[in-house]
Each structure stands twice: as structure tokens, then as C-alpha cells.
Amino acid sequence: MRVDTFSRLYESNTFWLNAEQKAIVDLGSLTIAKQLPLDEVCCVILTHSHYDHTAALDKLELPSSAIVMMHEADATAIGTSASAAHFFGAPPPQFHVDKLLRDGASIDLGDSILRVIHTPGHTPGSICLYEAHSKSLFSGDTVFPHGGIGRTDLPGGNSHDLTRSISRLTKLEVSVLYPGHGEVTASNVNEQIKQSLTFAKANESPE
Ligand SMILES: [Zn+2]
Ligand SMILES: [Zn+2]
């Protein structure tokens, strides 16, 4: 599966998945959205509800065939302050979610299948997406390269949940990490995720 990465300062990465069925992972920036052939897209998958990953959906007309998916536990944050929109000096984005996701769900893109891994911690409904054939992990704001982790001090964040979630990710065989922010990395990714786990444990707030 070929993946194109789009990124802008202060906004999340957007990934264009060149599978048989074209898919987008996260869509925070309208500028980026306008560069994409949106009429070809079958689905927009949101790793979580935060403004920097979703805001373009408020301002876009997607083709009627395209469906927006996100985890059910983050769908309730749409249009509320839990979207963290105030950090960006903007009102919370409003948009419609067509399909609510749960842990273990499969998203079939024809020649590639994405598995949904529910990874609460950064937000209650954060997800990662795993493509087993290319061993690709789209990690949203759960883990970042070089042992980075998502913050847990925003509404719904939980440092203990984040540790448990990252612990699950360490059980995967990952060749390429596509994080919500920062560069895509393909070097010793499993080791990088283990570093994230160590960092998350050290940053757990007291019970
Ligand atoms: Zn983010
Ligand atoms: Zn976030």
C-alpha cells in the first residue's frame, strides 16, 4: 500500500492511502484537503476527535459516497470543548460521523485491510490503524517517533490508559510508523514503540 503524507506546521499529518479504495487518515487542514482528489475517496478515518485532526471536515463538502469513521467513544466530543479547538482559537468543528468504530473492526480497502485498535489515553476514543501486509501503523497522537507519547492532560486524557494502550502496540510487528505529528519512520519502529512505553510508564500520574 502506497501512502502519501501531507503535513503543515501546527496541524496533524494527513495520510492518503493509495489502496484499491482510496482512504484518508485524519483531516485537520483545509489547505491540505484542497490538495487531495476528494472525489476519489471512499472513507475518511479519524484517529481521534481533536481539532487538529478533524477541522477540515467542518468546512468541506465530501462526495456523498465518502464515509467518515471514528471510534464511538470520541464521536461524543464532536462540537464540544473536548475537541480542544480553543487551543487553536477556533470553535469546535461540527461534522457528521457515518460509521462508529470499535476495537477489532476491519476497514476493507480492497487490496489492504486496516485493523482498528482502540488505544484510549490521549482521548477516550483514540484509535490506531494497523495494516498487517505492509506492517504499517497509523498511530494518531498515541505514540510518536523516538519514544514520544501523546499528552494526557486534555479532557478525557488518562495516563494509565495510555500506558495500557501503548503496551498493546508493543505486541505488533511494525515496519513503518505513520504518526499524527512528526516524520514517518521506518527504522527500528518496534524499538521506538518500546521507548514510548517506557516513557509513558514514567509519566503516569499517581493513582
Ligand atoms: Zn494532534
Ligand atoms: Zn490529539
Residue-by-residue DSSP string for 163-199: HHHHHHHTTS--SEEEESSS--B-SSHHHHHHHHHHH
Q: Which whole number is the average pLDDT over 147-174?
A: 97
- Confidence category of residue 8, pLDDT binned at 50, 70, 90: confident
The stretch 119-132 carries a mean pLDDT of 98
Domain ranges of the chain: 2-202
pTM above 0.95, yes or no: yes
Looking at every residue in the chain, the average pLDDT score rounds to 96
Question: What CATH number was assigned to the domain covering residues 2-202?
Answer: 3.60.15.10
Question: Which of left, alpha, beta for 169 (phi over 0: left; psi -120 to 50: alpha)?
Answer: alpha
Q: Give the pLDDT score at 66.
A: 96
Measure the CA–CA gap between 17 and 19, rounded to whole angstroms. Answer: 6
- Mean per-residue pLDDT for 104-111? 98
Q: Which residues surround ligand 2, an ion (CB under 5 A)?
A: 50, 141
- Ligand 2 centroid–CA 15 distance in Å is 16
CB 192 within 8 A of CB 146: yes
Q: Strand 143-144 relative to strand 148-149: parallel, antiparallel, unpaired?
A: antiparallel
Q: Measured in angstroms, how far is the CA atom of residue 8 from the centroid of ligand 1?
A: 12
Ligand 2 centroid from CA 191, angstroms: 23
Contact 102/117 with Cβ under 8 angstroms?
no
C-alpha dihedral sign at 185, 189, 193, 198: negative
> In the prediction, which pLDDT does 159 show?
98
Q: What is the mean pLDDT of residues 179-185?
A: 97
Using 50, 70 and 90 to split pLDDT, how confident is the model at 158?
very high
CB 114 within 8 A of CB 33: no
